[in-house]
Structure 1
Amino acid sequence: MKGSEGARRGRVLRLAAAAVIALLVGGTAVADEVRWRQDAPARYTVKSGDTLWDIAGHFLHAPWRWPGVWQKNPQIDNPHLIYPGDRITLRDCDGRPCLGLERGQDVVKMTPKMRALPRREAVLPLPMSVLKAFLREHRVVDKPESLDELAYVVGTENKRLISGAGDQIFVRPVEASATAELQSGQRLGIFRRGEVYRDAAGEPLGLELISIGEGVLASKSADMMRMNVKQSSQEVRSNDIILPLETRLDAAEMDPRVPQRDVAGHIVGVPGGVRFIGRLQVVAVDLGTEDGIQPGHVLSIEQQGERVVDPRTEEQVRLPGEVEGTLVVFRPYDRVSYAIVMEATSTLAVGDAVHPPR
């Protein structure tokens, strides 16, 4: 059985190699669109905690190419929904390799008592728990100068210098129109000024705000609001910023894909002040919605080439860079975006270039 399965996998991988050679001979620019791993399994059983990126990575060198090799099964209602226990198979589809789905079956032991089965959760495209946890702690204000227009803490109950969970704070709205839609009982975020992200010329791209905690609006008037602090990771202080919580991430919008524009940018920051960057770390890049960037966009990370001295002219020159990683944008703003590093073959750093996969 194992021998026949290995022969089948080898036949499909030979088809994949032949397809790539044919593309190279034809001279097309998309020769590496679908590059199959030589160690790809004949089938893979989905496990709890997997992401679509992880699963595709068992078969493809470029996991975001998953939709291009996905063979829909008409017997399955929605083949895009994959669950733990399902089996992904490497197949021969009319002479070309593809991936198919064999739906797993829940095994239920019969007993005299009725038993409720837990609802199965579909596999997500990216590690959404990591992204949601990050966004609870960080956000960006597109224009740093607009910080002076946001509501801010002016005092605390009993004249305390700092406050925490269970305390009441007083907030002053700079403009009544900015807080007109806020309702009593609404949860609001408490933030503090972080890093100003800048482009290569030093121009500001956006201001990072770091979450201090959350509170509930108790009451408001034209020039003052009362908030009850419900949770805090640090002490709430005078001049901290108050903002409505951002819209939650939608996994349906996070399917990885390549940007339509040929954009080029750089990693401009690492929230938390980390110097070196690895897999599943969040970075800020100097590309945003003004550049056509959307959630799910995939970018290659190209390390800066080493600086060397030309032996004849004695001038310093930079060697060409090498692609050493891949990131996926999950929260774009106007001119800057947060992205998660999904692949890193070496240590990455601020200043590394990003561009669509080539």
Structure 2
Amino acid sequence: MVRKTLISNKAFGFLFLFIFLLLPSFISAQTQEYKDYTVEKGDTLWDISQKELNDYFLWPKIWKENPEIKNPDRIYPKQKIRIPLYLLQKEIPETKPKPELETKPEIVKEKPVEKIIEPVKKEYLVNKDILIAIGYIADSVHSVGKITDSPVDRTILGKDDYAYIKTDNPVKIGEKFYIIRSVEKVIHPESGRKLGYLIEILGIAEVVNQENDDVKTIITDSYDEIPTGSLLDNFYEIEPPLAFENPRKPDINGYIVATRQLHIINGTWDIVYIDKGKKDGLQVGDILAPTLQSKHKIINGLIQLINLRESTSTAIVRKCNNSITKGDGITSVK
């Protein structure tokens, strides 16, 4: 009897030691499920994805794992971001787990659980404000009216200000217009031919009242200062394109024909306009590489197309080593 008790105690001791040795590994696995990253000044999810995962185009997955980030273009210094461990280890070959002893699970009858299907979170290439504010290159400056003045005699207007407008045709209450201005005439830097006019969208105006010839509007959105005299164009809905996990890298060469730095409330972006568009087979989301003006072909970063017209495109600068200027080339990403 004493011998059996000793054997039992010895077996219990081995079991306790085994659990004690496994416990730290279990705790470590739990704590390493995510890697914490502290945002630095100038960081974007695009840059963080390259820095931490060696892949720019995994940024939508990082955003998806951080539901507290409502807008991927709004992250701030000292903000904590969680990077999932499975993304960090995606290049590490899987190792087969050691076979475990087969145990027969106890069969427990449970009530069926009703599945709650949550809406899929859409991941956009850029947000709507940026897509509207970047503008476009048009063959001519088209307008359907202009802002004449304001009720308080201000010459510079912004969001929630009222303004009087004059239009070519009768309007209705609730009708909207884009407020635009022509930035510059666009001339091709290599051939010298005229490509059109760079049009900037300054804001959106909505008709709220009409008395005789006085049409009163409210500026519902403003992306830049809006001076009286600004032109109006027809309003149409603009939807931002969805992000691509594996964007195309087309084989094409061309030129940057205009540049601008976009300043809106949630940040600053470098925008470029190129001399290639839909007719050249390009698509929204395509990645291209800008090149320096040099006798050597020197790659100067990455740009991504976010808006296309027939013969021109607009791109956002995702990365650059030196300033990108009008006349720089574009080429395929190798």
- Work out whether the TM-score is over 0.5: yes
- Could you say which residue in structure 2 is the equivalent of 1:11? none
Structure 1 residue 120 displacement after superposition: 12
Counterpart of 1:247, as a letter, is: I
Structure 1 residue 195 displacement after superposition: 1.9
Where in structure 2 are the equivalents of 1:103-182 lying within 5 Å? 124=123, 128-129=126-127, 132-144=128-140, 147=141, 149-153=142-146, 155-156=148-149, 162=155, 164=157, 165-173=160-168
Structure 1 residue 220 displacement after superposition: 7.8
- Could you say which residue in structure 2 is the equivalent of 1:265? 254
User: 1 CA distance for matches of 2:33 and 2:186?
Assistant: 44
Q: 1:238 aligns with which of 226, 229, 233?
A: 229
Q: Unaligned 5+ residue runs, structure 2?
A: 1-31, 67-81, 96-117
User: 1 CA distance for matches of 2:173 and 2:135?
Assistant: 24
Residue 338 of structure 1 pairs with residue 314 of structure 2:
yes
Alignment size in residue pairs: 249
- Could you say which residue in structure 1 is the equivalent of 2:239? 248
Q: 2:65 aligns with which of 52, 74, 83?
A: 83
User: 2 CA distance for matches of 1:302 and 1:43?
Assistant: 40
- Could you say which residue in structure 1 is the equivalent of 2:45? 51
Contact 2:143 2:231 in 1 (8 A): no
Q: Unaligned 5+ residue runs, structure 1?
A: 1-41, 68-78, 96-118, 306-318
User: 1 CA distance for matches of 2:322 and 2:226?
Assistant: 38
User: 2 CA distance for matches of 1:234 and 1:91?
Assistant: 48
Structure 1 residue 335 displacement after superposition: 2.0
- Could you say which residue in structure 1 is the equivalent of 2:218? 228
Contact 2:147 2:163 in 1 (8 A): no
User: 2 CA distance for matches of 1:193 and 1:325?
Assistant: 29
- Could you say which residue in structure 1 is the equivalent of 2:290? 301
Contact 2:162 2:216 in 1 (8 A): no
- Could you say which residue in structure 1 is the equivalent of 2:24? none
Contact 1:280 1:342 in 2 (8 A): no
User: 2 CA distance for matches of 1:44 and 1:302?
Assistant: 38
Relative to 1, partners in 2 of residues 1:351 and 1:242: Cα closer, same or farther, differing over 3 Å?
A: same
CA deviation vs aligned residue, 1:127-151 (integer Å, no higher than 9, x gap): x35xx4433433125212xx2x421
Counterpart of 1:150, as a letter, is: S
User: 2 CA distance for matches of 1:254 and 1:186?
Assistant: 34
Contact 2:272 2:314 in 1 (8 A): yes
Structure 1 residue 226 displacement after superposition: 4.7
Bigger Rg, which one: 2
User: 1 CA distance for matches of 2:322 and 2:163?
Assistant: 48
- Could you say which residue in structure 1 is the equivalent of 2:271? 282
Identity between Structure 1 and Structure 2 (%): 14
CA deviation vs aligned residue, 1:305-356 (integer Å, no higher than 9, x gap): 2xxxxxxxxxxxxx32211211111112222222122222333332221112
Where in structure 2 are the equivalents of 1:175-194 lying within 5 Å? 184-194=173-183
Structure 1 residue 256 displacement after superposition: 5.2
Q: 2:207 aligns with which of 213, 217, 235?
A: 217
Contact 1:151 1:172 in 2 (8 A): yes
State the superposition RMSD in angstroms: 4.3
Counterpart of 1:51, as a letter, is: L
Contact 2:183 2:198 in 1 (8 A): yes
Q: TM-score, normalised by structure 1?
A: 0.55
SS at match of 1:323: coil
Contact 1:83 1:121 in 2 (8 A): no
User: 2 CA distance for matches of 1:266 and 1:58?
Assistant: 32
User: 2 CA distance for matches of 1:254 and 1:224?
Assistant: 47
Q: TM-score, normalised by structure 2?
A: 0.59
